Structure 1
Amino acid sequence: MDSLASCPFCDVILPQSELQRHANSHFEEADDEQFTMDMELGQELAFASSSSTCFPEESMDERVSCLIALQVRSSFYHVKVEGGGGLMALLRKRLELDTDNACTSTVFLAGYVDHFQSMFSEDVGWGCGWRNIQMLSSHLLSLREDARQLLFGGFGFVPDIPYLQRWLEIAWERGFDTFGAQHFNHSVYGSKKWIGATECAALFRSFGFRARIVDFGPKEVESLFLSVPGAHMGSQVVRTKARVYGPMDRYLVDRNSDVSQPDFTAYANCRSSSSHLAEVSNQTMTSNFSSNNEGHQVLLDWVWNYFSQGSSTTHADRCHVTVTDRTPLYFQHDGHSRTIVGIEVRHQKNGKLQFSLLILDPGHRTEALEKSLKENTIWKKLIKRGVHTLKKPQYQLCYIDPGVASGDEMEKLKTMDSAFIEF
């Protein structure tokens, strides 16, 4: 194997045989894509070479230090918006300007989120789980000081997939999700193995974050959650009744209980200023929900509760759009995962409520999302998902409660559990 050397211009580590060509590229009309590939190649080779010496026999602390020193920021398409805010600022603006729904809808949005798209040269077909972890990480690092101090060694950026894989292996070695570790034979680095919501929760829990899992499905498939392979829905977890451990407990119910009714107070209060809906009371909205509480609608009701019960961080000039302090939701089903960044509820002319999840999909191109929002073209088809689009027999959500665990609570987080809600 070639010895490794550092480029004198950008400090990237490359094989000696590649160094001259790479260094010369700094003085040419360089192909940005090729340069990026060189950077990625050098980083991966350096990491693979270093890991062979600093991972197997070193102590845990030394391995973590090695990982922190080697990890690099994940590249992604930056959406530039005047005043900042990125893609989520564009989405918020588009929802505010959606005149068709301005007097009939209420929207709750998570704050800042970077969209991480799957790359053909890297992870198409298997990397969606990692991309969603990156989206959640971008939110936490942007809005939570504790996350900037704790996540990924405190460097304040979202690492690329190979380094996230190493962090998951570190989490397993620390005792988080022992069943999952066994399923993956304690190794995911450098592989194309699919991961799920359980791996997402284990990774964030290992840094002290209170990541929770909720399962949704019909009663007859509840037992399947106990043995679904990690390649699709995540590794094995212990399914339990809801326990008191976070602000969403009142909405986490076991399959023999009635699903909690969504709280429409925020909706009613916001719409009270509108002459169109001033006569609509909270009681009326609750009764509308009751007649709708069937099938996959239960999942949308839970998501509504999650976002609407968060603290408001920003009220738009048009009160039907509110930014909350809730983290995005890792949204998993068989074969794919996405990130839920908010929810819209619309009061239809027939008196019923229509819910739409607001979703960022790693399979979409960030540039295409940006263009659709700026030009007001097909953004609704790309981002909005109603109950009619939920056709899978089972779903998982991973969410993160506020605060950081320590001591006995940290030990309890090592055992992966979830609540089951019946469709």
Structure 2
Amino acid sequence: MRGMFTFCPVCNNQVLSNELEWHVNSHFEEDELARDMELAQQVAMAPPSPTNSNSIEVDISFEDYGEASQASSSTAGKTNRDQEISHLAKVQLKSDFYRVEGGLLHLLRTCLYNEGNNCTSIVSGYVDHYQTLRSDRGWGCGWRNIQMLSSNLLHERKEAKKVLFGGSQFVPDIPALQRWLEIAWQRGFDQIGSSHYDRNIYGTKRWIGTTECATIFRSFGLKARIVDFDSTESGGSRMNGKKRGRYADLHGPMDKFVVRAVGSDTQTNSRSSDVIETLGRQVLVDWVWKYFTGSTSGSFDVSQRITVSEKTPLYFQHDGHSRTIVGIQMQKGFCDSEDRFFLLILDPGHKTADLEKALRRQKGWQGMIKRGPHTLKKPQYQLCYIDPGIVNSAEMEQLKTIDSTLVSF
């Protein structure tokens, strides 16, 4: 059987879908020595300089969690697991990141406001941008998006601040997040999906996606939800751990073990791929608009230039990459009285300093953050969001099965 092809997010060449993870990682592994040599030469030639508090080029170290990692192989029963959780909460490290004075989304809202009266935007209240570093290029975007969602939850929701990451009240680094995911698997969350990783993710460069994002947050009692957007023609879902449809060869974050809870009887077999693509774009954009506007108290006022949303950002996944949707903009009556929409997206692949510079100058930021429907060319997308509140013990058991809502087009 011939494998499916997809585009590499680094070189944009077509590769087999089941080789995508290896292919992307190889870009960075092959260049690692050359980059290190260049960096060593620069350091050797440069004069000593004071430490920059905004520096973020810090390699990931897994040594701090060695004791917790060893404990995972010998734990037996709830008591030992509770001890392991308590230990991890104490030894985990706060993730370093580039801090933007006043907050990145404050700068974004200012830029959106200055675009004029014909635009109305709704944006999340607070998000820190966690950029991909040299140490996690090619595989770290999923973890960086989890960190972005975590920064919003810790800042905006008191109930989440009490339970997330052992009550640490900060966003942990990637090694700690990997340990939290393993502990969630040990506690019975996403049993089917965890087998894809042999229940071992700590210290690896394995790609993760929406399911792992939901698993981490659900393990703390948060109501993480997944939504799948897919044409019924593709049939790319995975039910009860069994692949089916044209995406049977997919490997990576889009290869999920979720149970699709809601389906659509829309028939697409007779449609052209262009029609399906157009429908998919519109369905996704409409859903995002309703999601953010539905979070406001009372009816949403489209006459307002800027509205702050009470909803969490959206973990936005497609084959090969993931990003964070922090809001959406509508340009009213753009063409023939039709409104035009733009998703507002933070990409971990961008440098935070570049985002800050563009937003402060109010120049060039649109190309980095605004994404129109025409950019949505993938056949499948997944979103993860988090409803307010903490579940009780009975509901916690239900959260262990990772399910999703399927939106077909």
Following the alignment from structure 1 to structure 2, what is the Cα–Cα distance between the partners of residues 113 and 349? 32
Deviation track 1:291-335 (CA, whole Å, cap 9, x = no partner) reads x9833110000000000000259x99x822100100000000000
Structure 1 SS opposite 2:279: coil
Structure 1 SS opposite 2:139: coil
Deviation track 1:19-41 (CA, whole Å, cap 9, x = no partner) reads xxxxxxxxx9566389x899867
Partner amino acid, structure 2, of 1:409: E
Following the alignment from structure 1 to structure 2, what is the Cα–Cα distance between the partners of residues 296 and 225? 22
Contact in 2 for aligned 1:357/1:386 (Cα 8 Å)? yes
Following the alignment from structure 1 to structure 2, what is the Cα–Cα distance between the partners of residues 361 and 193? 19
TM-score with structure 1 setting the length:
0.75
Structure 1 SS opposite 2:284: helix
Partner amino acid, structure 2, of 1:79: V
1:56 offset after TM fit, Å? 2.5
Question: Structure 2 matches for 1:202-351, cutoff 5 A?
Answer: 202-226=215-239, 227=243, 231-233=252-254, 235-241=256-262, 254-256=263-265, 294-312=279-297, 319-347=304-332, 348-351=334-337
1:232 offset after TM fit, Å? 2.5
Contact in 2 for aligned 1:73/1:159 (Cα 8 Å)? yes
Partner amino acid, structure 2, of 1:160: D
Following the alignment from structure 1 to structure 2, what is the Cα–Cα distance between the partners of residues 390 and 39? 33
Following the alignment from structure 2 to structure 1, what is the Cα–Cα distance between the partners of residues 180 and 69? 16
What's 2:106 paired with?
Answer: 89
What's 2:44 paired with?
Answer: none
**Residue 406 (structure 1) aligned with residue 398 (structure 2):** no
Partner amino acid, structure 1, of 2:107: L
Following the alignment from structure 1 to structure 2, what is the Cα–Cα distance between the partners of residues 325 and 52? 37
Contact in 1 for aligned 2:237/2:260 (Cα 8 Å)? no
**Residue 77 (structure 1) aligned with residue 98 (structure 2):** yes
Following the alignment from structure 1 to structure 2, what is the Cα–Cα distance between the partners of residues 369 and 38? 17
Following the alignment from structure 1 to structure 2, what is the Cα–Cα distance between the partners of residues 301 and 39? 39
Identity %: 49
Deviation track 1:157-196 (CA, whole Å, cap 9, x = no partner) reads 0000000000000111111101111111001000000001
Change (3 A) 1:30 1:44: farther
Partner amino acid, structure 1, of 2:168: F
**Residue 195 (structure 1) aligned with residue 203 (structure 2):** no
1:353 offset after TM fit, Å? 1.3
1:57 offset after TM fit, Å? 2.1
Following the alignment from structure 1 to structure 2, what is the Cα–Cα distance between the partners of residues 64 and 77? 28
Structure 2 SS opposite 1:186: coil
1:51 offset after TM fit, Å? 2.9
Following the alignment from structure 2 to structure 1, what is the Cα–Cα distance between the partners of residues 253 and 62? 26
Following the alignment from structure 1 to structure 2, what is the Cα–Cα distance between the partners of residues 359 and 52? 34
Query: Which aligned runs of 4 or more in structure 1 are off by greater than 4 angstroms?
Result: 28-31, 36-41
1:342 offset after TM fit, Å? 0.2
Partner amino acid, structure 2, of 1:416: I
Change (3 A) 1:40 1:61: farther
Following the alignment from structure 2 to structure 1, what is the Cα–Cα distance between the partners of residues 158 and 388? 12
What's 1:392 paired with?
Answer: 378
Following the alignment from structure 1 to structure 2, what is the Cα–Cα distance between the partners of residues 377 and 332? 27
What's 1:106 paired with?
Answer: 120
| Structure 2 runs not aligned, ≥5 long | 1-46, 268-276
Contact in 2 for aligned 1:195/1:234 (Cα 8 Å)? no
Change (3 A) 1:39 1:134: closer
1:104 offset after TM fit, Å? 1.4
Structure 2 SS opposite 1:330: strand
What's 2:24 paired with?
Answer: none
TM-score with structure 2 setting the length:
0.77
Bigger Cα Rg = 1
Contact in 2 for aligned 1:312/1:324 (Cα 8 Å)? no
**Residue 156 (structure 1) aligned with residue 169 (structure 2):** yes
1:397 offset after TM fit, Å? 0.4
Partner amino acid, structure 1, of 2:132: S
What's 1:116 paired with?
Answer: 130
Following the alignment from structure 1 to structure 2, what is the Cα–Cα distance between the partners of residues 179 and 225? 11
Equivalent position to 2:355, from 363, 369, 382: 369
**Residue 44 (structure 1) aligned with residue 62 (structure 2):** yes
Following the alignment from structure 2 to structure 1, what is the Cα–Cα distance between the partners of residues 173 and 142? 13
What's 1:143 paired with?
Answer: 156
Following the alignment from structure 1 to structure 2, what is the Cα–Cα distance between the partners of residues 240 and 65? 35
1:138 offset after TM fit, Å? 0.1
Following the alignment from structure 1 to structure 2, what is the Cα–Cα distance between the partners of residues 217 and 223? 7
Contact in 2 for aligned 1:312/1:325 (Cα 8 Å)? no
Partner amino acid, structure 2, of 1:46: D
Following the alignment from structure 2 to structure 1, what is the Cα–Cα distance between the partners of residues 327 and 144? 18
* More off after superposition, 391-400 vs 406-415: 406-415
What's 2:12 paired with?
Answer: none
1:379 offset after TM fit, Å? 0.5
Structure 2 SS opposite 1:419: strand
Contact in 2 for aligned 1:110/1:325 (Cα 8 Å)? yes
RMSD: 2.7
1:53 offset after TM fit, Å? 4.6
Following the alignment from structure 1 to structure 2, what is the Cα–Cα distance between the partners of residues 224 and 239? 8
